[in-house]
Structure 1
């Protein structure tokens, strides 16, 4: 319910902003159309449009893309054809005015549905029944206006994908290239993970087992019972350390708590095992799918590990939330910053996220703080 209310407010704000941009787009479209008519340019091309008009259109298009992405949740891949962008602006102003109308109706519905709250402060109520009916009418208007907002957003998405996004053929080519690149990167990441596991086993557990064997051999050859008991005590301690390191390696490969108790419990375990204070803000009412949860765990775990090793931070903040069908991650520290997004660790995280068609970002200016964000699909 809270997510639905948040989306409704965000969509209403997006429609209101779209109405404001439509007021600017309409005279620009009329001016561009008049110039094209006088110049006799062929319809469907950007030739003949003056440079200032194209510059204003490009600026408006950038505003529209930010509005669609941040407020309406509509992300369209950029298209290289300027004419398609101009056609989009030429048509979109109608939807902008429609969005402004439904946003205004939402405000009117809120005003009438809450009349019972503030009407007593304005004047004495002579007809309480009329106020009650006004409230009911306002609730009905608010419901219908919210439906209009969602319908307008759907129309905005269809129009943007049809006139602003790349063609179906271009999208297929981009998708094929992306899948091929992601597959190659994942194969490289898997090989790198195998090498890391082999290195951990060789440098840690294997050395412990070799030392354990040597201690047991010395204990068998010893003729002094006291010395043999001391060697057996050292061998017992070495076996305990080998078991601890083996558990650490197994945990880094895949934690069983992720399957047994879910993502939240696994992240709480990461926070407990981290030497720095970790503040975990987990607001995901419905558990994400298994693959999404696995990638989210490794993103948070590896990011926190990088913070401990390289950032010089004193605390870490981890936020996990959900927005519609997207799982949102943010890991932020108070370290010195300057993290290289092309580094081995962050590149591996980006590959994990890209394998699920997610989005990964790193913001780490010199002096800090470092903020790592990821969006993972939950559908």
Structure 2
């Protein structure tokens, strides 16, 4: 049985790999075929737009006429580009999140039309080559020896042409439909501005919370401690004096515990000395609700990411304990591949905190908004999924060092 299993697993993997290759080829062929059809439609649109623009050329010196022409081109080109974006996403796996303007839409349709038509021609070559390769047709002199090699060559050229076509389609989409350098720069500036403001707000909020904890916790205990010692000094040898001293001792212990807790919230010693795993283990042990920790990082992700990941978990666990009514919390820390828009995948540290509470967490709340700002400042992101009735799942991703 063990030998059969050992042999069967590689065979299953090979079968899955072969099915994945066939699926990719089916999607590529389907995308190329659909692209040929949309290229015909795009070519017809461009020809119609050109024919309509010729008699209107003298009127284009008038600004309202140019604006009307732009609106007309936009109304016709944007639906065609939307179809292209869906085709690229579903069949080629290339997501284009930006909605391009009229000029870029028309430019993309004009550049892609010959590529799409060529793709249709490439697809037609394959069945023609297959027919020559298996057909019993003979050449004029009655010899068919040269037909089979020619058919195989045509089939090979069709396969290679399809590979090149998919790459060209993806490149054109990213180049002409994707965000330009200026768009990326403006988006980045906006993200940095927002993250800076969020970090400032989060720091101010943390300072207010520390002040509140010191005022309501440590300061009150020290006041009681001072009063108890002052009363004990008046009658140090009596039973009442000994009781007051014992009370003062308990208040001193409580004040030390509160100070230790405040210091841990500011920056836990275990995080600086032993790393993220030890800090999260200590957090899980101190939580009032059972916390299951799944830590799979094989090395430290860097001090900044460790700090961000720790405070995401600490805030999420604190919120779950205080507000969700959960009786179990799961914390998972590991790595994942993140990509999109045709861009190469990048490695990220993913932190996921889930609880089985009542849900309804507000992502715009002070605590979660502060965590989102902290993640954005590290070029990461934070997502909150907390439908009414639960469960709640908070996921943060940070770029690996």
C-alpha displacement at 1:155, in angstroms?
A: 8.0
2:316 corresponds to 1:292: no
Describe the shift of the 1:67–1:28 C-alpha distance in structure 2 as closer, same or farther (beyond 3 A): closer
User: Is the 8 Å Cα contact of residues 281 and 319 (structure 1) preserved in structure 2?
Assistant: yes
Match of 2:333 in 1: 320
1:305 — aligned with what? 318
Asked if the contact 1:21–1:60 (Cα under 8 Å) also holds between the matched residues in 2, the reply is: no
Aligned to 1:116: none
Alignment match, 2:385:
363
Deviations 1:37-96 (A, max 9, x none): 243178xx987669687436414414645888xx78xx76624425535655764978xx
Say if 1:164 and 1:35 are closer, same or farther in 2 by CA, change over 3 A: closer
Query: What residue is the counterpart of 2:104 in the other structure?
Result: 84
Q: Does 1:176 align with 2:186?
A: no
Task: Report the equivalent of 1:34.
Answer: 44
The Cα offsets for residues 135-165 of structure 1, whole Å up to 9 and x where unpaired, read as xxxxxxxxxxxxxx9x999988865543222
Counterpart mapping for 1:191-206 below 5 A: 191-206=204-219
Whole-Å separation in 1 of the counterparts to 2:74 and 2:31: 21
Contact 2:77 2:106 in 1 (8 A): no
Confirm or deny: 8 A CA contact 2:271 2:279 kept in the other structure.
yes
Greater Rg over alpha carbons, structure: 2
Distance 2:235 2:87 in 1: 81
Q: More displaced, 195-204 or 349-358?
A: 349-358
Give the distance between the partners of 1:276 and 1:158, measured in 2 at CA: 51
Q: Is the 8 Å Cα contact of residues 46 and 86 (structure 1) preserved in structure 2?
A: no
Say if 1:319 and 1:330, in contact at 8 Å, map to a contact too.
yes
Residues 1-379 of structure 1 aligned to structure 2 (within 5 Å): 17=27, 20-40=30-50, 54-55=78-79, 57-62=81-86, 64=88, 78-84=98-104, 91=112, 160-222=173-235, 224-322=237-335, 323=337, 324-379=346-401
2:149 maps to: none
Q: Distance between the aligned counterparts of 2:34 and 2:361, measured in 1? A: 41
2:214 and 2:39 map into 1 onto residues whose CA distance is 67
Give the length in aligned residue pairs.
Answer: 312
Q: In structure 2, how many angstroms separate the alpha carbons of the residues matched to 1:198 and 1:321?
A: 34
**Displacement, 1:226?**
3.0
User: Counterpart in 1 of 2:156?
Assistant: none
> Could you tell me how far apart the structure 2 residues matched to 1:286 and 1:159 are?
39
Cα distance in 2, alignment partners of residues 238 and 169 from structure 1: 61
C-alpha distance in structure 2 between counterparts of 1:152 and 1:320, whole Å: 40
Kept in 1, the 8 Å contact 2:332–2:352? The answer is yes
Aligned-residue CA RMSD (Å): 3.6
Relative to 1, partners in 2 of residues 1:83 and 1:311: Cα closer, same or farther, differing over 3 Å? farther
TM-score by length of 1: 0.71
TM-score by length of 2: 0.67
8 Å CA contact 1:36–1:49 kept in 2: the answer is: no
Contact 2:201 2:370 (C-alpha < 8 Å) held by counterparts: no
Bigger CA drift: 173-182 or 286-295? 173-182
CA–CA separation in structure 1 for the residues paired with 2:101 and 2:247? 73
- Aligned to 2:281, the other structure's residue is in SS state helix
Q: Distance in 1 between matches of 2:314 and 2:166?
A: 37
Alpha-carbon distance between aligned partners in 2 of 1:50 and 1:365, rounded to the nearest angstrom: 39
Measured in 1, the distance between the counterparts of 2:25 and 2:307 equals 36
